[in-house]
Amino acid sequence: MKFAEVSWVEAQAILKDVDTVILPVGSTEQHGPHCPLGTDHITAEAVAVTIGDRVGLPVLPVVAVGVSSHHRQFPGTLWAPPAVFRDYVKAIILSAASHGPRKFLIVNGHGGNTASLKEVAEDMRSDENIFIAVANAFPAKLDGHAGEDETSVMLHLRPELVKMKKAVDTKQNEALAGIRMKAQKVGPADFGWDTIDLSPTGVFGAAGKTIEATKATASHGEEIVKAHVDELCAFTEELKTAKLEDLLPKPHK
């Protein structure tokens, strides 16, 4: 159930019976000319609510803005600096924990949040005796950002928000300043990339590869979501039954 849709009296009763809570986290950023800005947080919330309903856990309100400054050249993108984002997520976790729960599943819909969420999980585990598992709302291997796979997921979840007539197939840039690129790298090196370095449309995946958003279908999206949610539900059942003391770190020497 969604926490935002129950009263405090109902929340009090729910929290007597659970020690695990789900927090969906996403972003508000460009997803090509055809998918909504909220693609990541819409997906994260939908996956989180499905898990919560199936395993009987409450779902906190979605965090809709994340670490997305690399999409800033595309209008409508919103972002928070990593430090602000980390502090905000920590505050939500700590406030929820003050009512009892000490185990959390974060369902993350945006790759740009991953490093910050892992830091939050490490800090909460070592400093606050709170265990946080961070899981992706999407499967690990998609064809790209706003490509066939992600667009298909949105066609399955919220078809009314996808403008398939505006979908484009985009060949990702192959070089930066004459240096060959590999995915989001220059040669073998990472760099502080912006989306515009990779693609003029906001659709991207691998250097030199054409990402075919126009091939997206709702049935393909349903297949992606079902298999991934099944896996996450099985994991969440294990997290529910695990003892908190067994999940916390051993004393540091």
pTM to 2 decimal places: 0.96
Domain ranges of the chain: 3-245
Convert the pLDDT of each residue in 89-139 to its tens digit.
999 999 999 999 999 999 999 999 999 999 999 999 999 999 999 999 999
Instruction: Provide the CA 185 distance to its chain's centre, in angstroms.
Output: 22
Please report the pLDDT score of residue 163 as a whole number. Answer: 98
The mean pLDDT value for 161-190 works out to 95
Tokens of 67: 């670490």
Give Dmax over CA atoms of the chain in angstroms.
62
pLDDT bucket at 183, cuts 50 / 70 / 90: confident
What superfamily in CATH does domain 3-245 come from? Creatininase (3.40.50.10310)
Pairing outcome for strands 189-190 and 185-186? antiparallel
CA distance linking residue 233 with residue 77, whole number of Å = 31
List all residues 6 or more positions away from 92 whose beta carbon is below 8 Å from its beta carbon: 23, 60, 63
Convert the pLDDT of each residue in 153-165 to its tens digit.
999 999 999 999 9
To which H or E segment does residue 106 belong? Answer: strand 103-108
Please report the pLDDT score of residue 182 as a whole number. Answer: 87
To which H or E segment does residue 89 belong? Answer: helix 82-97
User: 65: helix, coil or strand?
Assistant: coil
Give me the phi and psi of 24, to 5 degrees please.
-80, 140
User: 105: helix, coil or strand?
Assistant: strand
β-bridge partners, 228: none
List all residues 6 or more positions away from 224 whose beta carbon is below 8 Å from its beta carbon: 138, 139, 142, 149, 152, 153, 156
Pick from 103, 110, 158: nearest CA to 136? 110
Q: Which of 12-16, 46-50, 76-80 has the lowest mean pLDDT?
A: 12-16
User: 193: helix, coil or strand?
Assistant: coil
Convert the pLDDT of each residue in 211-243 to its tens digit.
999 999 999 999 999 999 999 999 999 999 999
Query: Cβ atoms within 10 A of the Cβ of 209, count?
Result: 16
- E strands within 109-221? 131-136, 169-171, 175-176, 179-182, 185-186, 189-190, 210-212
Percentage of the chain beyond pLDDT 90 is 95
To which H or E segment does residue 13 belong? Answer: helix 8-17
